[in-house]
Amino acid sequence: MKKEVSNIFKGAFLVNEDAPKSWLMILFVSVLAIVMIASSHSADKKVHQIARINNEAKELRSAFVDGRKRLTELKKETVVELKMERRGLAISEIPPTKIKVKSQR
Q: Is the pLDDT of residue 11 over 80?
A: no
3 state DSSP class of 97? coil
Q: Is the pLDDT of residue 66 over 80?
A: yes
pLDDT in tens, 21-62: 778 888 999 999 999 999 999 999 999 999 999 999 999 999
Using CA atoms, how far apart are residues 68 and 74, in angstroms rounded to an integer? 10
pLDDT score, position 104 = 78
* Of residues 12 and 97, more confidently modeled: 97
3 state DSSP class of 13? helix
Rounded to two decimals, the pTM is 0.56
Residue type, 13: F
pLDDT score, position 26 = 86
